Amino acid sequence: MTRGDQQPLWPAYVATFTFMLGQWASGVAVPLQVGLLGGSLADAGLLASVRFGLQAFFQLPFGAVADAWGTRRVLMIAIVGNALVNLIPLIALALGSVVPLFAWAVLSGITASLFLPAISAYVAISAPDATRGSAFGWLTLFTHTGVASGPALGGLVWDLGGPVPTYLASSAFGLAAIIGAVFVAPSVRTTVRLSRLPGMVAEIARQRPIVGAWLAALAIGLPWGAVAGLFPLFGTGIGLAAGTVGLLLAAQSLANGASRVPLGRLIDRRRISPVAAAVGAGGYAVVIGVLGFQTGVPGILLVLVAGVVMLAFTLMLVQVTISSVARPELRATGLGGYGTALSAGLGVGPFVAGGVADVGGFGWGFGVIGGIGVIVALVAAAVLSGGTRREATTAGAIQR
What is the band of 196 on the pLDDT scale with cuts at 50, 70, 90?
Answer: low
d(CA 287, CA 53): 23
What is the band of 398 on the pLDDT scale with cuts at 50, 70, 90?
Answer: very low
Who contacts 208 (Cβ-Cβ below 8 Å, separation ≥6)? Answer: 383, 384, 387
Is the entire prediction scored with pTM above 0.75?
Answer: no
pLDDT in tens, 319-329: 888 887 777 66
Quickly count: other Cβ atoms within 10 Å of residue 188's Cβ: 9
3-state secondary structure of 2: coil
- Domain spanning 10-184+196-384: CATH 3.40.50.880: no
Residue spans of the domains in the chain: they are 10-184+196-384
d(CA 172, CA 179): 12
pLDDT at 281: 93
Helices (H), 326-361: 331-360
Comparing 60-69, 96-105, 123-132, which segment has the lowest mean pLDDT? 60-69
pLDDT at 400: 33
Look over the chain and give the mean of its residue pLDDT values, rounded to a whole number.
Answer: 81
pLDDT at 279: 93
Using the predicted structure, report yes or no on whether residue 295 has a pLDDT greater than 90: no
- Contact between 115 and 206 under an 8 Å Cβ cutoff? The reply is no
- List the beta strands (DSSP E) in 250-324: none
d(CA 310, CA 280): 5
Buried b / exposed e across 317-353, counting CB within 10 Å, b at 16+?
Answer: bbbbbbbbbbbbbbbbbbbbbbbbbbbbbbbbbbbbb
- Contact between 113 and 17 under an 8 Å Cβ cutoff? The reply is no
